Amino acid sequence: MRFALSAVLVMWAGAVQAIELQLPASARQMISRDTVQDRFFAPVGVIEDGDLPTRMIEGDVARSAWRIDVAGLTPLQLAAPIRAQLEAAGYALALDCAALECGGYDFRFAMEVLPSPNMYVNIRNFHVLTGLRTADDGGAEAITILTSASSGASYVQIIQAGEGAKTSTVEPVLATPHVVSDAAAQGPLSEVLAQTGFVVLGDLDFNSGTADLGAGPFAVLEALAQVLGAQPDLRIALVGHTDNIGGLEGNIALSLNRAASVRQRMLEEYDIAPDRLEARGAGYLSPLTTNLTETGREANRRVEAVVLSQ
């Protein structure tokens, strides 16, 4: 099974349809373990009284784990686009649960997980998906996705079993970000946050070479404030990003300071409670596109709003 890396990873399952597994460009494969004529017990329900419901799939099994060195990503942010692609490719979701809802500690140790440190699972902060479908030869196929996040990194485990595992490949494709900037963005911004877990806050203006946010006003911040007002339990991480000019340490500091500047504007102008907004910096570790052109570098200099909880 061949793996390559980019902002979006496309996995071809059998002859049915492509599955796009969207991972940040800073993701790197930690381990892969493929077996022929094996059995995989895919979790298909939450654990109850110590018993984990599973579906046994016979055939080839392909396993991989990925690490994303970006702060602020949530397990749901990583899982949501994968879930949509599974459904589009004809998989029926047999399981879609998070952390304590799945069964917490007991669930994590009842399902198959690749060894640490290649795959890390935060018992209080993970998400699991299992999709099932019928292969072209009439047999069963399963894909189980496990996403988890710690304070400074996120992890994704992919296990595919059945006929599709034999023919699966992963190819790089350029991602298209969700960018919101206009004054009528409150509705679309709310929808994008609910569907993908993050949005690029477009048209923010920083003074050249500094972290100082321009005078504004910025319609996208007004829209974000409206979303926060309408959803009192919503918590957001504002994550700054830079191009690759300069060193990593300086870029992380700059990206963090720009995110902090946006956060401060939200607190002062829209009276948002401080504990509902966090500021984080990713530097140049998660580009949207190439840094080899000025247009690409400009796109990579951005601040994103990332859902922490709803």
Q: Is the pLDDT of residue 52 over 90?
A: yes
Lowest-confidence segment of 139-153, 184-198, 232-246 by average pLDDT: 184-198
Average pLDDT, integer, range 94-123: 93
70: CB partners within 8 A, 6+ apart: 24, 26, 153, 154, 239, 282, 285, 286
> How much is the pLDDT for 194?
78
β partners of residue 170: 11
The average confidence (pLDDT) of the chain is 81
Give pLDDT tens digits for 80-108.
778 877 887 788 999 999 999 999 999 99
Residues with Cβ < 8 Å from 257, sequence gap 6 or more?
211, 240, 281
CA 185 → CA 40, 71, 103, 170, 228, distances in Å? Answer: 45, 26, 38, 34, 13
Range in 2-16, 145-159, 201-215 with the lowest mean pLDDT: 2-16
How much is the average pLDDT of 47-56?
94
Q: pLDDT, tens digit, for every residue of 222-272?
A: 889 999 999 999 999 999 998 889 999 999 999 999 999 999 999 999 999
Fold type of domain 179-309: 60s Ribosomal Protein L30; Chain: A; (3.30.1330)
Residue among 251, 237, 247, 310 at smallest CA distance from 280: 237
Question: What is the pLDDT at residue 84?
Answer: 77
- Which one has a higher pLDDT value, 215 or 273? 273
| Residue extents of the structural domains in the chain | 8-173, 179-309
